[in-house]
Amino acid sequence: MERILIKGGRLIDPASGIDAVKDILVEGSKIAKIGSGLNTDDVTLINAEGMLIFPGLIDMHVHLREPGFEYKETIESGTKSAAAGGFTTVACMPNTYPVIDSPAMVEYIYLKAEKEGHVKVKPVAAITKGQQGEELSPIGELVQYGAAAFSDDGHPVSSSNLMRRAMEYASMWDALIISHCEDPELSRDGVMNEGEMSTMLGMRGIPSVAEETMVAREIALSRYTGCRVHIAHISTKASVEMVRRAKAEGIRISAEAAPHHFSLTDAAVDGYSSMTKVNPPLRSGEDVEAVIRGLKDGTVDAIATDHAPHHRDDKEVEYSMAAFGISGLETAVPLAVTHLLRPGVLTPLQLAERMSLAPAKLLKLDAGYIAEGGPADITIIDPEAEITVDTEKFLSKGKNSPFDGMRLWGRVVHTIVEGRMV
């Protein structure tokens, strides 16, 4: 049995509240022992002095593009990118071709990930067949085949009645509905945030209300059906405020924010780089501050990358023609360390909760914690390392990132999945 001894790191376990220097002995796929002064022969030794030891990070919002768009990403390349980024589990979105809307497709993703994946993969199944917004997918059956959650991500579910029915079904299995909140009548053919900057640049805007009307609808439907509803890539101040109030009311709502929505404003679009084109768009400074406040007080439960790799041909065109999306797996930790940890917005325990324990709970995974007998999914981070983002070095096929060339703090040193260093 393979053994790894991680010595002298600062163990951060939000499940137990432990934040202390400890040694961790991994045996096989489990954590065998946690203590001080652990010493054993015949182990792979990791000197973790000065490092943060987090439970393996979980990204509940990733586009792996397989099947159908392998020129953008594959399960193999996307999970390699995840491992480099410190993620031990990723939940992949169903906007593939064919769409993940059948038991056969869910099984296919599991089999392919088992064969070629570098980290664990949990497929999110579509709410509606073909993500067409017309007919529900077989939600109960998909739960039995291991769908981690349900989402038409990339597309909103425009019909409120269909969303109501989806929530009624999903709640029978206590399944999670992840909502891409966008009213297409309001977003229309917008390409960036609607505001001063879009006016100045002469580009069509996506107003914040395009998100907020749908957040309001999902809260109302969750209140009515009792279904667990998760707001994907939350990006506006009013959305965060609505989720905060809904939680106070006891509604079963949760939310995630993407690193680009807490680290960039729409000012980044000045210069017309299509790398900044993402949906929902980069918002105003006020919105970014609200997202950060939401992450701080837990209104925003999780950080999720919305890793959206695209081919050069999809991005190296005029802004209005370019695809929406940012390749996010390999910059998430440095962005979180730089914008949340170092300025003291989040403590290490809170960051580990947002990036590991909270998504584990939302997806009902046996993960997100570090304890004797528990799974050996561990992420080791050097918070003092300074890095320069170089998208050409990304292991993802998607080099589309607005952070290229940026200097940031925080480096993932090791990612351990079920006791294997990946």
185-244 residues near ligand DOR, rule: CB under 6 A: none
Footprint of ligand DOR on 64-123 (CB under 6 A):
95
> How far apart, in Å, are the Cα atoms of 9 and each of 35, 36, 207, 388?
11, 11, 45, 24
**Residues in region 270-309 near ligand DOR by CB under 6 A:** 278-279, 306, 308
Residues 55-74 that bind ligand DOR (CB under 6 A): 63
Give the number of residues in contact with ligand DOR, rule: CB under 6 A: 11
Query: Please, what is the minimum distance in Å from the beta carbon of residue 259 to ligand DOR?
Result: 13
Output the smallest distance, CB 406 to ligand DOR, in A.
Answer: 19
Instruction: Name the minimum Å distance from CB 129 to ligand DOR.
Output: 18
Nearer of residues 297 and 316 to ligand DOR, judged by Cβ: 316
Q: Are strands 228-231 and 44-47 parallel, antiparallel or unpaired?
A: unpaired
Nearer to ligand DOR, 155 or 364 (CB): 155
Contacts with ligand DOR, 351-390, as mask; x by CB under 6 A: ----------------------------------------
Q: What is the 3-state secondary structure (H, E, C) of the chain?
A: CCEEEEEEEEEEECCCCEEEEEEEEEECCEEEEEECCCCCCCCEEEECCCCEEEECEEEEEECCCCCCCCCCCCHHHHHHHHHHHCEEEEEECCCCCCCCCCHHHHHHHHHHHHHHCCCEEEEEECCEHHHCCCCECCHHHHHHCCCCEEECCCCCCCCHHHHHHHHHHHHHCCCEEEECCCCHHHHCCCCEECCHHHHHHCCCEECCHHHHHHHHHHHHHHHHHCCEEEECCCCCHHHHHHHHHHHHCCCCEEEEECHHHHHCCHHHHCCCCHHHCCCCCCCCHHHHHHHHHHHHHCCCCEECCCECCCCHHHHCCCHHHCCCCECCCCCHHHHHHHHHHCCCCCCHHHHHHHHHHHHHHHCCCCCCCCCCCCECCEEEEEEEEEEECCHHHCCCCCCCCCCCCCEEEEEEEEEEECCEEC
CB of 187 to ligand DOR, least distance (A): 11
Q: Which residues in 137-196 contact ligand DOR (CB under 6 A)? A: 153-154, 180
Name the residue with tokens 């939310």: 255
The amino acid sitting at 414 is H
**For ligand DOR, which residue of 171, 324, 371, 390 counts as binding (CB under 6 A)?**
324
Q: Which of 395, 389, 380 is nearest to 408 (CA)?
A: 389
Does 348 sit near ligand DOR (CB under 6 A)? no
CB of 244 to ligand DOR, least distance (A): 23
Q: How far apart are CA 376 and CA 234, in angstroms?
A: 31
Pick the catalytic residue: 306, 314, 377, 382? 306
As measured in angstroms, the least distance from the Cβ of 95 to ligand DOR is: 5
Of the residues 56, 325, 368, 398, which one makes contact with ligand DOR according to CB under 6 A: 325
- Write down the least CB distance from residue 251 to ligand DOR, Å: 23
Residue closer to ligand DOR, measured from CB, 48 or 282: 282
297 belongs to the catalytic site: no
Nearer to ligand DOR, 273 or 347 (CB): 273
What's the min distance (Å) between Cβ of 104 and ligand DOR?
Answer: 22
Measured from the CB atom, is 153 or 382 closer to ligand DOR?
153
Q: Which is nearer to ligand DOR, 106 or 304 (CB)?
A: 304
- What count of other Cβ atoms lies within 10 Å of the Cβ of residue 220? 14
Considering beta carbons, is residue 284 or 415 the nearer one to ligand DOR?
A: 284
Nearer to ligand DOR, 180 or 247 (CB): 180
**Cβ proximity of 401 and 327 under 8 Å:** yes
Contacts to ligand DOR by CB under 6 A: 63, 95, 153-154, 180, 278-279, 306, 308, 324-325
**Which residues are known to be catalytic?**
306
